[in-house]
C-alpha cells in the first residue's frame, strides 16, 4: 500500500486551497501583530514541520520521490523569516514586561537551552549559523549545482534515445511522452534545487542581521525609553533575542540537513497543494514519530506544555486517521477478488498467466538447496552460470523461475523452456558426482550434463579430495546451463534485444539509429543475432555487427547472406575461440565428391532440393571425420566454401554431430590452414 493511497483525505478538493491560504497567512504574519500564544503555536508548528520534512527526506528512495522539496524549502524559509519579524515586533514592543513578552517558546529557549545566559546563547547561535551556512548549506548547494549542470547537459542525449526507442518500436508514443515528462521534471527539480539552496544561505545571513537589530534595538529602547540600566537592558533583551534566534535557527538547521539528504540521492508532480500534502503528511509513520517527539518535549519541565502537547496530540491523531484509511483501503482491496469470484465476469487476456521463458522445478528433498539460510547455493550457482554465459556469448539469460514441484520424485528436477519440458534429472543430496571415477569405485552412475563426461555419485565423505567433484547444486546449475546454451537463440527475444540495443546506444550513440529501422527492420536484426548465437558465435562485439549491417544492409535484405557477411567480419573472434589462439588451424575439409554432389543437388533452389539420403550421408561422414579429428587431438572444426557453410552447418546441427562449421571467408589472413581429415560420403 503506497503512501499516496493512504492519504486519501489530503486529495479532497478543499485541500487544494491549503497552498494559497498557507502562503497568504505567512505573508500576513510579517505585517499583522500576533499575540504571544499564537507565536508559541506557530514556533512549535515550525519545529514539527522541520522534523516531518527531515523524516520524509530520509524515507525518499530517490530525489523525485520528494519533487516538491524546492517549494517546501522556500515556504519554510519564508515561514521562519515571518516568525522572526513577528517575534522581533513583540520583543521590541513588550520586552520591558518580562521574559515571557514574546511567548513561552522563546522564553524557554532563552532560559532552558542556554541557562539564562545571553552570552552563551549568542555563542550557541553563532555556532549553529556557522554549521548551517558554511557546512550544510554550502555542500547541499554545490551538489544541487553540479547535479543540475549534468542533468541539463545529458538532456538532449536522453531525448534522442527516447525518440530512437519510439521509432524502433521499443516503446509506444504514450510511454515516450511519459519519459520526456520525467526528463523535464528531473531537470526542473535540480534547477530549482540549485536556486532554492540560496534561500537557506540567505536565511542564515538574515538571521544574523535580525538578531543584531533585535539586540541593538531592544537595548536602546530599554536605555532611552524605559529608563533601564545597561546591565538590566542587556540581560532582558539579550535573553529574548537569543531565544528568538535559537527557536528559528534550529528548524533552519533541520531543513538544511533535509536539503542535503534530498539532493544527494524528483517524482511525478501533481498540483502543488496535493503534492505537498501527500508527500509531507501522507505517511502515518512520520506523523507518529513527530507527534511522539513533541509529546515527549511537552512533558519536560520548563517547556511550553500546552503548545508541544497540543501539536503532538494533533499529529498523533492525524497519524491514526491516516492509518485507519490505510486499513480501510486494504480491506477494500481484499474484498474485491471475493466479489469477482461470486459474480464472475467475461474471461480476458489478463486471466492467462504468462509462460516462463526458463523454469526450474525441484522435488521436495532438493528444496534446501534453494534456502541460503541453510547453506543452499543453487541460486548462487545459477547466477554464476548466467554471468559466465553472458560474458562469453554476449547474451543475458532472462531470470529463471525456480519453484518446488510435489509431483516430481523427491530427488528429481526438471527444466522447462517456454512451458515445455526439456530435460529431467536426478541428484542425490549427501553425495558428490566424481567425474572419470575409477572403475573399482562404488556408487550410482551419473554424467556431467554440461560436458557429457561420465561419473559416479559417491558418498560425500568418500569423495572429499577428489578433483572436479560436483555437488548436487553444481549438477543442476550445469544442466540448466546446458539447456540455455543449446537453445540460446530462443532466449534472445524482442525485449532482450531492446535491452541490448539500448546498452549499445549508451556507449556508441547514433549507431543503432543508423541501422534500425533506417536500414534493417528490428525483426531482421533479431533473426541475424539468433542465427549467430545458435551456431555458438558470441555477439559481445555488437559494435562490429551493427557497423557491418550499416554498410551491407543497403545491398541485401537476405537474412542468410547478411549472416554470412557478419560472420566474415567476426572471423578473427570465431577462429580464436575455436582454436584458442593457435597459428596453424588443423581443420576437416569437405571431400571433393561430397562437395560436388552437394552443389549438384542444391542447384539454384538451395537447401530445399537436398535429398534426405544426402543429408544422412553427410551426418554419417561428419561423425566419422569428427572421431578421427578428436583422436588426433585437434579441434572439431569443418572448413567449407562460404556458399555451402549455412547448409552444411544446419545439416550437422540437425544430426547433433558437435562439429563447428566455418568458411574460408572467416579465416584471418595471418593464420595458416592445414587440412588433416576429410568429410567423405559413405559408399
Three-state DSSP string of 29-47: HHHCCCCHHHHHHHHHHHH
Q: Cα separation of 120 and 147, whole Å?
A: 39
- pTM of the predicted protein model: 0.51
**Pair 146, 154: CB distance under 8 Å:** no
Instruction: Specify whether the CB–CB gap between 131 and 253 falls below 8 A.
Output: yes
Q: Is 98 a residue whose pLDDT tops 70?
A: no
CATH architecture of the region 492-569? Orthogonal Bundle (1.10)
In this predicted structure, the answer to whether residue 340 has a pLDDT above a threshold of 50 is no
How many whole angstroms separate alpha carbon 1 and alpha carbon 249?
Answer: 36
256 pLDDT more than 50: yes
pLDDT of residue 442: 65
Answer for the pair 453, 466: CB distance below 8 angstroms, yes or no. no
* Per-residue pLDDT band at 572 (split at 50, 70, 90): very high
- C-alpha to C-alpha distances, 214 to 27, 84, 87, 274, nearest whole angstrom: 20, 10, 10, 38
Q: What percentage of the chain has pLDDT greater than the value 70? A: 81
Cell 469477482 belongs to 340
Rounded CA separation 328/6 (Å):
9
One DSSP character per residue, 358-371 reads: EEEEE-GGGGGGG-
Identify which has the larger pLDDT, 298 or 147: 298
pLDDT digits (tens, 9 = 90+) for 580-600: 889 999 999 999 998 998 888
Q: Which CATH superfamily is domain 577-683 in?
A: FHIPEP family, domain 4 (3.40.50.12790)
* 39 vs 670, more confident: 670
Grid cell 509431483 — which residue?
407
pLDDT, mean of residues 432-457: 81
Annotate 221-252 with three-state secondary structure: HHHHCCCCCHHHHHHHHHHHHHHHHHHHHHHH
Mean pLDDT of the 27-55 span: 80
Alpha carbons 266 and 64: distance in angstroms, whole number: 2
Handedness of CA 668, 672, 677, 682 (dihedral sign): positive
Which carries the bigger pLDDT value, residue 101 or residue 569? 569
The yes-or-no verdict on residue 607 having pLDDT over 50 is yes
Tell me: the pLDDT tens digits for 136-157?
Answer: 777 776 777 776 676 667 666 6
Confidence of residue 66 (pLDDT cuts 50, 70, 90): confident
Q: Topology of domain 358-460+467-490, per CATH?
A: Glutaredoxin (3.40.30)
Q: What is the pLDDT of residue 6?
A: 44
What the block records as the C-alpha cell of 605 is 533452389
Per-residue pLDDT for 101 more than 70? no
Q: Which of helix, strand or coil describes residue 585?
A: strand
Residue 495 is predicted with a pLDDT of 86
Domain ranges of the chain: 3-265+273-323, 358-460+467-490, 492-569, 577-683
Amino acid at each position: 500500500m503506497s503512501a499516496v493511497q493512504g492519504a486519501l483525505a489530503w486529495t479532497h478538493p478543499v485541500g487544494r486551497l491549503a497552498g494559497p491560504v498557507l502562503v497568504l497567512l505567512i505573508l500576513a504574519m510579517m505585517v499583522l501583530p500576533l499575540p504571544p500564544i499564537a507565536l508559541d503555536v506557530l514556533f512549535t508548528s515550525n519545529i514539527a514541520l522541520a522534523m516531518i520534512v527531515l523524516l520524509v527526506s530520509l524515507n525518499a528512495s530517490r530525489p523525485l520521490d520528494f519533487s516538491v522539496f524546492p517549494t517546501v524549502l522556500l515556504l519554510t524559509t519564508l515561514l521562519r523569516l515571518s516568525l522572526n519579524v513577528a517575534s522581533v515586533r513583540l520583543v521590541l514592543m513588550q520586552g520591558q514586561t518580562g521574559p515571557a513578552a514574546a511567548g513561552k517558546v522563546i522564553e524557554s529557549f532563552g532560559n532552558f537551552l542556554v541557562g539564562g545566559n545571553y552570552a552563551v546563547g549568542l555563542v550557541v547561535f553563532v555556532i549553529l549559523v556557522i554549521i548551517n551556512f558554511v557546512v550544510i548549506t554550502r555542500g547541499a548547494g554545490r551538489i544541487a549545482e553540479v547535479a543540475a549542470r549534468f542533468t541539463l547537459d545529458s538532456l538532449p542525449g536522453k531525448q534522442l534515445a527516447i525518440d530512437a526507442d519510439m521509432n524502433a518500436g521499443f516503446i509506444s508514443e504514450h510511454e515516450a511522452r511519459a519519459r520526456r515528462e520525467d526528463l523535464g521534471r528531473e531537470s526542473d527539480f535540480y534547477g530549482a534545487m540549485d536556486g532554492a539552496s540560496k534561500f537557506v544561505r540567505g536565511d542564515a545571513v538574515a538571521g544574523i542581521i535580525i538578531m543584531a537589530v533585535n539586540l541593538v534595538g531592544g537595548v536602546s529602547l530599554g536605555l532611552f525609553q524605559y529608563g533601564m540600566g545597561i546591565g538590566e537592558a542587556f540581560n532582558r533583551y539579550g535573553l529574548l533575542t537569543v531565544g528568538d534566534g535559537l527557536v528559528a535557527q534550529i528548524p533552519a538547521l533541520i531543513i538544511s540537513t533535509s536539503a542535503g539528504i534530498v539532493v544527494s540521492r524528483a517524482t511525478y508532480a501533481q498540483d502543488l497543494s496535493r503534492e505537498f500534502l501527500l508527500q509531507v503528511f501522507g505517511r502515518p509513520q512520520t506523523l507518529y514519530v513527530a507527534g511522539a517527539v513533541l509529546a515527549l518535549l511537552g512533558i519536560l519541565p520548563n517547556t511550553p506544555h500546552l503548545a508541544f502537547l497540543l501539536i503532538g496530540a494533533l499529529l498523533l491523531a492525524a497519524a491514526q486517521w491516516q492509518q485507519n484509511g490505510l486499513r480501510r483501503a486494504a480491506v477494500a482491496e481484499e474484498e474485491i477478488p471475493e466479489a469477482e469470484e461470486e459474480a464472475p465476469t467475461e474471461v480476458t487476456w489478463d486471466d492467462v498467466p504468462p509462460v516462463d521463458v526458463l523454469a526450474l522445478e525441484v522435488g521436495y528433498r532438493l528444496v534446501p538447496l534453494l534456502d541460503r539460510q541453510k547453506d543452499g547455493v543453487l541460486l548462487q550457482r545459477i547466477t554464476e552460470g548466467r554471468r559466465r554465459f553472458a560474458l562469453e556469448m554476449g547474451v543475458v539469460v532472462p531470470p529463471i523461475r525456480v519453484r518446488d514441484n510435489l509431483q516430481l520424485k523427491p530427488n528429481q528436477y526438471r527444466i522447462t523452456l517456454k512451458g515445455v519440458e526439456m530435460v529431467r534429472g536426478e541428484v542425490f543430496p549427501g553425495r558428490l558426482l566424481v567425474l572419470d571415477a575409477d572403475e573399482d569405485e562404488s556408487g550410482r552412475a551419473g554424467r556431467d550434463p554440461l560436458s557429457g563426461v561420465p561419473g559416479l555419485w559417491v558418498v560425500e565423505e568418500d569423495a572429499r579430495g577428489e578433483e572436479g567433484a560436483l555437488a548436487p547444486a553444481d549438477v543442476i546449475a550445469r544442466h540448466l546451463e546446458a539447456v540455455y546454451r543449446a537453445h540460446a537463440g530462443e532466449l534472445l527475444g524482442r525485449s532482450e534485444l531492446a535491452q541490448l540495443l539500448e546498452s549499445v546506444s549508451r556507449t556508441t550513440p547514433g549507431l543503432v539509429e543508423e541501422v534500425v529501422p533506417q536500414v534493417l527492420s528490428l525483426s531482421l536484426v533479431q533473426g541475424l543475432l539468433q542465427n549467430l548465437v545458435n551456431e555458438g558465435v558470441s555477439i559481445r562485439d555488437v559494435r562490429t555487427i551493427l557497423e557491418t549491417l550499416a554498410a551491407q544492409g543497403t545491398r541485401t535484405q537476405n537474412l542468410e547472406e547478411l549472416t554470412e557477411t557478419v560472420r566474415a567480419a567476426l572471423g578473427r573472434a570465431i577462429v580464436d575461440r575455436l582454436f584458442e589462439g593457435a597459428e596453424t588451424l588443423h581443420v576437416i575439409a569437405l571431400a571433393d565428391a561430397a562437395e560436388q554432389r552437394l552443389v549438384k543437388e542444391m542447384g539454384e533452389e538451395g537447401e530445399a532440393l537436398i535429398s534426405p539420403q544426402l543429408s544422412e550421408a553427410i551426418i554419417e561422414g561428419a561423425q566419422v571425420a569428427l572421431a578421427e579429428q578428436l583422436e588426433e587431438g585437434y579441434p572439431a572444426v569443418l572448413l567449407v566454401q562460404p556458399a555451402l557453410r549455412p547448409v552444411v552447418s544446419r545439416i550437422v546441427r540437425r544430426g547433433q554431430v558437435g562439429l563447428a562449421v566455418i568458411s574460408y571467408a572467416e579465416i584471418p589472413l595471418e593464420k595458416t590452414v592445414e587440412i588433416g581429415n576429410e568429410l567423405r560420403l559413405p559408399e
